[in-house]
Structure 1
Amino acid sequence: MRLTLPVVKVLSVLLAEPDTERYGLDLMKLTNLPSGTLYPVLHRLKGAGWLEADWETIDPAVEGRPARRYYQLTANGATAARQALAELHALNRDARPVRGGAEPAGAPAW
């Protein structure tokens, strides 16, 4: 899975409460992503097996709204997401510039 910023945002929200089902508008609000960005991410995560999606069973006429599609990480998806985000965090930590003028360890001596 390619970890773009939108993917990281979605995974972070879903991992914050992995047992909670989220619907699209809820995810849009929590990630600040527009629908044109969010739904392709959800589709990719579902295709990778990291996410499951199910329609709620309601009568739209009774509820006064259309049925929502709820998304939740699969067990494998939650494990893979945690690992991917941990690896990304480690890469970012290792890539931070050294402050104070000293050469980073392993820097070439020119």
Structure 2
Amino acid sequence: MVRARRPSAQTLAVLNALADEPATWRYGYELGRQVGLAAGSLYPILIRLCDRGLLEATWEETPVQGRPPRHLYRLTGTGVRWAAEVAEEPLAAPVRPRLREA
């Protein structure tokens, strides 16, 4: 289920990166480097997107010799549509500080 609240800037960065090539499987490490997120921020986002049915995840079928298999991620059809919807939503107006009267 998708929330009505606008996703965070970090989630939007991940969605946009995945939406650039929605049919391509991507490694978490690669995504993190692309969007500038550390693993502690990136993987909870990926897990939430998977839990909501917006991302699908699978294990690497043929890992590099000497390296354990890695998770791969890509947007589902619903995820592609949702990424397009949130990309079109206007950003909230910035909050302007109130000036104090002297």
Query: Fold match, TM over 0.5?
Result: yes
Q: Is 2:63–2:70's contact at 8 Å kept on the other side of the alignment? A: no
Residue 55 of structure 1 pairs with residue 59 of structure 2:
yes
Identity over aligned pairs, percent = 41
Q: 1:71 to 1:59 in 2, by over 3 A?
A: closer
Q: Give the count of matched residue pairs.
A: 91
Mark the runs of 5 or more structure 1 residues left unpaired by the alignment: 97-110
Q: Determine the C-alpha separation between the residues in 2 that align with 1:59 and 1:27.
A: 18
User: Equivalent residue for 1:84?
Assistant: 86
User: Equivalent residue for 1:41?
Assistant: 45
SS in 1 for 2:73: strand
Question: Where is the helix percentage greater, Structure 1 or Structure 2?
Answer: 1
- TM-score normalised by L of structure 1: 0.74
Mark the structure with the bigger radius of gyration. 1
Q: Determine the C-alpha separation between the residues in 1 that align with 2:25 and 2:81.
A: 17
Moved over 3 A (4+): none
2:67 to 65, 84, 97: 65
Q: Determine the C-alpha separation between the residues in 2 that align with 1:72 and 1:7.
A: 14
Deviations 1:44-94 (A, max 9, x none): 10011000000012366xx1211111000001110011101211xx235xx
CA RMSD of aligned residues (A): 1.8
